[in-house]
Amino acid sequence: MNPLTDLLRHGQAVWLDYIRRSLVTGGELERLVGMGLRGLTSNPAIFEKAIAGSDDYDDELEELLAGDPHMEARELYERLVFRDIRMAADILRPVYDETRGADGFVSLELSPPLVHDTGDSIAEARRFWKAVDRPNLMIKVPATPEGIPVIEALTAEGINVNVTLIFSLEQYEAAARAYIRGLERCRDPAGVSSVASFFLSRIDTVVDRRLEAVGTPEALALRGRAAVASAKAVYGRFKEVFSGGQWQALAEKGARVQRILWASTATKNPAYSDVMYVEEVIGPDTATTLPPATLHAFLDHGRVRPSLEEGVEEAAGELDALAWA
- List the catalytic residue out of 140, 232, 239, 268: 140
Task: Sort strands 286-290 and 194-199 into parallel, antiparallel or unpaired.
Answer: unpaired
CA-closest candidate to residue 226, choices 165, 325, 324, 315: 315
pLDDT at 14: 98
Please list the residues that pair with 16 across neighbouring strands. 40, 290
Handedness of CA 269, 12, 247, 153 (dihedral sign): positive
pLDDT, tens digit, for every residue of 266-282? Answer: 999 999 999 999 999 99
- Calculate helix-pair angle for 73-98, 58-67, nearest 10 degrees: 130
Classify domain 3-324 by CATH number: 3.20.20.70
The answer to whether the beta carbons of residues 307 and 288 sit under 8 Å apart is no
CA-closest candidate to residue 105, choices 31, 32, 42, 154: 42
d(CA 110, CA 141): 6
pLDDT at 314: 97
pLDDT, tens digit, for every residue of 170-219? Answer: 999 999 999 999 999 999 999 999 999 999 999 999 999 999 999 999 99
Q: What are phi and psi of 235, to 5 degrees?
A: -65, -35
Secondary element (H or E) of residue 106: strand 105-109
pLDDT, tens digit, for every residue of 80-100? Answer: 999 999 999 999 999 999 999
d(CA 122, CA 113): 13
First to last CA, the chain: 42
Query: pLDDT tens, position by position, for the chain (325 residues)?
Result: 789 999 999 999 999 999 999 999 999 999 999 999 999 999 999 999 999 999 999 999 999 999 999 999 999 999 999 999 999 999 999 999 999 999 999 999 999 999 999 999 999 999 999 999 999 999 999 999 999 999 999 999 999 999 999 999 999 999 999 999 999 999 999 999 999 999 999 999 999 999 999 999 999 999 999 999 999 999 999 999 999 899 999 999 999 999 999 999 999 999 999 999 999 999 999 999 999 999 999 999 999 999 999 999 999 999 999 999 9
Secondary element (H or E) of residue 200: none
pLDDT at 153: 98
Secondary element (H or E) of residue 257: none
* Domain residue ranges of the chain, discontinuous segments joined by +: 3-324
Task: Sort strands 137-142 and 161-166 into parallel, antiparallel or unpaired.
Answer: parallel
d(CA 61, CA 75): 11
Q: Which amino acid is at 243?
A: S
pLDDT at 163: 98
CA-closest candidate to residue 160, choices 37, 32, 256, 87: 256
The answer to whether the beta carbons of residues 135 and 141 sit under 8 Å apart is no
pLDDT at 188: 97
CA-closest candidate to residue 292, choices 20, 8, 2, 13: 20
Residue 209, CA distances (Å) to 268, 274, 319 in order: 12, 19, 16
The answer to whether the beta carbons of residues 61 and 76 sit under 8 Å apart is yes
pLDDT at 257: 98
pLDDT at 116: 95
d(CA 112, CA 101): 28
User: Can 268 be counted among the known catalytic residues?
Assistant: no
Q: To the nearest whole percent, how much of the chain has pLDDT over 90?
A: 99
